[in-house]
Amino acid sequence: MRKASTVVLVSLLSLVTILAGSFGNQPAQAATGREPVIVIPGIGGSTFTATNRFTLSVDNGRGGTFTRTYNEGENVWVNIFQAALPGSDDYFDAMKLTADGDTPVAPQLELDGVFGLAYNDLVDYLEDEGYEQNVDLWLFPYDWRRDIRTTNSQLDTLVTEALTAVNGGNPDPASWSITRVDIVGHSMGGMVGRSYVSDPARASRVDQLLTLGSPQLGTTKFLKTLVYGDNFGPTFLGLGLNPDEVKDVVQNMSGAAQLLPSREYYTYYDNSDEQRLRPYIEDRDVDGDGVARGVLSYDEVDQLLRNLDKNSIVLDKAETYHDALDTQRNGGVNGVRWDALVGYGFGTQGQIIEFTGTCFVWFGVQACDKRDELPVDGDGTVTRFSAAMGDPDRGNLIDSGAERWYVEREHGALVQKDRFLGIPTDEGAALRWLGDRLRDSSTSVDVRIPKTRNPDLVTRQPLRQLTGMWVSALGPVALTVEDQDGNTMGREAGSDSAMEDTIAEALYERSPGSEFAFLKGNNTYQLKLISEQQGSVDVKVRVYDNGRLTQTAVYMGVPLDADGNANLTLQPASTAATLNSWPMLVVDADGDGVQETDVQPDAILDAEESADITAPELLVEQPDVQQDGEVAVQWRTNDDNAGMLNEHAFIDDGTGIVQPVVNGEMVDLPSGDYTLQVIAQDQAGNAQSYEVDFQVP
């Protein structure tokens, strides 16, 4: 089993909001001479080391206790060796906080620096620009687990140290010739920088705030992490951690909770079309409150998290943090010049859909829980509207005072050089932009909109919106992808971790019971679905062209034995967008190497049908129970969008054995208590379910 490459960069994201200052929009004036630069990494980008030998005994999140002795000087975060080991990854339980959202379970861990494998490219670039560490280049490690606001005093100390050093070691501010610093913050680091300059006195010590991929309004990615876990794969730390361990570790982290989509996020992601999706759809009762509420508002997501017993203390801190900042609209950040670089062009988690679907089992079809995800435009981690603080496509932007810039680049690559076969070949568009901003010039920043796509440009508007294919595989399978050059990504069957991703412009995601891939490049891809237990898989391939969902192919309920597999060949997205027919899913159901069936799509949807995210209408009548034990079942369905695909219904006597029934059927039943469950599914894969209890006397 392979873990994801550790060369890919750190970053989870961060959420901040709008703070306005008393100084309005007047920019600060740069001092004479070179101002020191302070680099602030994203979440997970600061390392922790044990100050002395200690033994930890802590709840492992699975009903047991994890016990381990850590040695003095041991690098706990990020311990690449431990991350590479298969298994539960409980080693990282030492990073947990207690329920107050502030106190470490292992106080023996102390900050030790910045994760070099993630930020070496950025530091090297600045050194090539003539900056010298601990003179006019400073790194700011911080405890990213805790409330973002707790970093202000520590950063203030470093600012004083940096200004003292750049002024020749003179400790007297009254005689300094250089009085301000420049802050460079990646992901959550940009939010740390904004928190710092929210105070006018602190802001007076900062000339520029440069943020790269900072999710000002939060991220659906962290909502997924909090509820389902995540493996910190290629667009995060690249460590391939066990998703359940990540979920366990983050539960009490105030800083992480501040990355949840804020109330303001829902203003721009209002579910009005396929690129403005709300983060969560509850089409089955996920939290056990007796109601499936459909598309959830901010308040409904907050209540769902509390119903799922998520830490109310850290949720309250996150809400207070955002509500205080997101409502401010006066522009500027206390006079600090702020430039925000926004990544785009990659499928980024935009919506989680929980619903009841159907699964094939040995005795037929049964109802089962399913989970799908839909993308919006972004950098693979941060959605574009969040990083841009509003909806630039509709001209509906928060008056934050920030100058917005756009680059077609993945989240981690915003602070990474271009590489070929692992060897740096160019500093890349984002780092060049950073150098220009620090030099206060725009000589190599193209503010035009070129006629042809050039992803290595930073522009004032996106060159295009999301383009590529989004693959969903819903069922007990591992998804692997291989391109025509032999590059691969995905997950090997039986492994908890993503394999090394070597496919350019492609991303892999996973949720419990579901696997996803975004395929952007102009390439041919081989998809392989490897069964991990007997069951069935639904496969959906959605094609996006410049932000518009143009076509969807749906393969529903493909049965596979425990060792089975299925294969699908996909042409480049530019070709797929014009296809009138789709390739067949080639199935080796028992895994004996012989491909038994070729499965055609159950539906091929056009643009209008593909945009359907509404479940069918379903009305189930109370079963008509006759005196002799005959029971009549009946229901009505309707779907005005993509159209109905199938209906399944079952009568359950409570013993675990279900009896399939069809609409209008008369069924003979002995005395007892029963439940009729009906599932209606449309051609877009949306499903609606309903249960009715009845009794046969």
* CATH classification at residue 626: 2.60.40.10
Helix or strand or coil: residue 688?
strand
397 or 137: whose pLDDT is higher? Answer: 137
Helix or strand or coil: residue 186?
strand
441 or 210: whose pLDDT is higher? Answer: 210
Burial of residue 73, with CB atoms counted within 10 A of its CB: 0-12 exposed, 13-18 middle, 19 or more buried: exposed
Does residue 686 share a domain with residue 606? no
Cβ proximity of 181 and 82 under 8 Å? no
Q: Which of 172-181, 391-400, 491-500 has the highest mean pLDDT?
A: 172-181
Q: Is the pLDDT of residue 470 over 50?
A: yes
Name the nearest CA neighbour of 38 among 173, 145, 171, 154. Answer: 154
For residue 24, tell me if it sits in a domain. no
Cβ proximity of 50 and 71 under 8 Å? yes
Mean local confidence (pLDDT), 151-179? 95
Q: What is the pLDDT of residue 17?
A: 27
Does residue 581 share a domain with residue 505? yes
Q: Is the pLDDT of residue 465 over 50?
A: yes
To the nearest whole number, what is the mean pLDDT of the chain? 87
Distance separating alpha carbons of residues 131 and 127, to the nearest angstrom: 5
Q: Which of 53-67, 71-85, 223-237, 414-428 has the lowest mean pLDDT?
A: 223-237
One-letter amino acid at 307 equals N
What is the percent of the chain with per-residue pLDDT over 90, rounded to a whole number?
Answer: 69
For residue 645, tell me if it sits in a domain. yes
Distance separating alpha carbons of residues 488 and 305, to the nearest angstrom: 35
Does residue 547 share a domain with residue 482? yes
Q: Which of 97-106, 240-249, 390-399, 575-584 has the highest mean pLDDT?
A: 97-106
For residue 578, tell me if it sits in a domain. yes
Distance separating alpha carbons of residues 295 and 613, to the nearest angstrom: 10
Which pLDDT band holds residue 657 (cuts at 50, 70, 90)? confident
Question: How many residues are listed for the chain in this entry?
Answer: 697
Distance separating alpha carbons of residues 74 and 222, to the nearest angstrom: 28
Does residue 647 share a domain with residue 556? no
Does residue 586 share a domain with residue 657? no
Q: What is the pLDDT of residue 380?
A: 94
Q: Is the pLDDT of residue 579 over 90?
A: no
Does residue 492 share a domain with residue 476? yes
Which pLDDT band holds residue 448 (cuts at 50, 70, 90)? very low
Q: What is the pLDDT of residue 300?
A: 98
Cβ proximity of 659 and 651 under 8 Å? yes
For residue 504, tell me if it sits in a domain. yes
Does residue 624 share a domain with residue 522? no
Q: Write down the pTM of the prediction.
A: 0.89
Q: What is the pLDDT of residue 324?
A: 78
Element (DSSP H or E) covering residue 545:
strand 535-545
Q: What is the pLDDT of residue 239?
A: 63
One-letter amino acid at 49 equals T
Q: What is the pLDDT of residue 103?
A: 96
Q: Which of 12-16, 234-238, 592-596 has the lowest mean pLDDT?
A: 12-16
Distance separating alpha carbons of residues 334 and 163, to the nearest angstrom: 20
Which pLDDT band holds residue 574 (cuts at 50, 70, 90)? low
Distances (CA, A) of 340 to 10, 183, 186, 190: 19, 12, 10, 9
**Digit-coded pLDDT (tens) for 201-243:** 999 999 999 999 999 899 999 999 999 998 765 455 556 688 8
**Beta strands at 477-483 and 488-490: parallel, antiparallel or unpaired:** antiparallel
Query: ω into residue 667 within 30 of 0, thus cis?
Result: no
Q: Is the pLDDT of residue 499 over 70?
A: yes
Does residue 592 share a domain with residue 501? yes
Q: What is the pLDDT of residue 30?
A: 35
**Digit-coded pLDDT (tens) for 506-528:** 999 999 999 999 998 778 999 99
Does residue 495 share a domain with residue 600? yes
Query: ω into residue 78 within 30 of 0, thus cis?
Result: yes
Does residue 603 share a domain with residue 472? yes
Q: What is the pLDDT of residue 80?
A: 87
Distances (CA, A) of 5 to 254, 382, 422, 488: 28, 20, 11, 12
Name the nearest CA neighbour of 375 among 294, 460, 466. Answer: 466
Element (DSSP H or E) covering residue 646:
strand 644-652
Q: Which of 101-115, 303-317, 602-616 has the lowest mean pLDDT?
A: 602-616
Please give the backbone phi and psi of residue 219, each rounded to the nearest 5 degrees, phi first. Answer: -150, 135
* Domain boundary, last residue among 561, 578, 610: 610
Q: Is the pLDDT of residue 26 over 60?
A: no
Q: What is the pLDDT of residue 330?
A: 60
Distance separating alpha carbons of residues 22 and 200, to the nearest angstrom: 7
Q: Is the pLDDT of residue 27 over 80?
A: no
* Domain boundary, last residue among 610, 645, 668: 610
What is the percent of the chain with per-residue pLDDT over 70, rounded to a whole number?
Answer: 89
Express the helix, strand and coil content of the chain in percent, nearest 5 each. Answer: 20, 35, 45
Element (DSSP H or E) covering residue 256:
helix 254-257
* Domain boundary, last residue among 589, 610, 631: 610
Q: What is the pLDDT of residue 243?
A: 87
Sheet holding 337-343, edge to edge: 137-139, 37-40, 181-186, 206-212, 337-343, 403-407, 458-459
78 or 185: whose pLDDT is higher? Answer: 185
**Digit-coded pLDDT (tens) for 186-199:** 999 999 998 899 88
For residue 459, tell me if it sits in a domain. no
Q: What is the pLDDT of residue 16?
A: 27
Element (DSSP H or E) covering residue 608:
helix 607-610
For residue 351, tell me if it sits in a domain. no
Angle subtended at Cα 5 by Cα 253 and Cα 220, rounded to the nearest 5 degrees: 40
Domain that holds residue 567: 467-610
Cβ proximity of 48 and 105 under 8 Å? no
Cβ proximity of 212 and 414 under 8 Å? yes
For residue 642, tell me if it sits in a domain. yes
Distance separating alpha carbons of residues 162 and 360, to the nearest angstrom: 64
Mean local confidence (pLDDT), 348-373? 87
Q: What is the pLDDT of residue 52?
A: 97
Does residue 630 share a domain with residue 546? no
Distance separating alpha carbons of residues 666 and 687, to the nearest angstrom: 25
Does residue 564 share a domain with residue 629? no
For residue 604, tell me if it sits in a domain. yes
Q: What is the pLDDT of residue 21?
A: 30
Structural domain count, the chain: 2
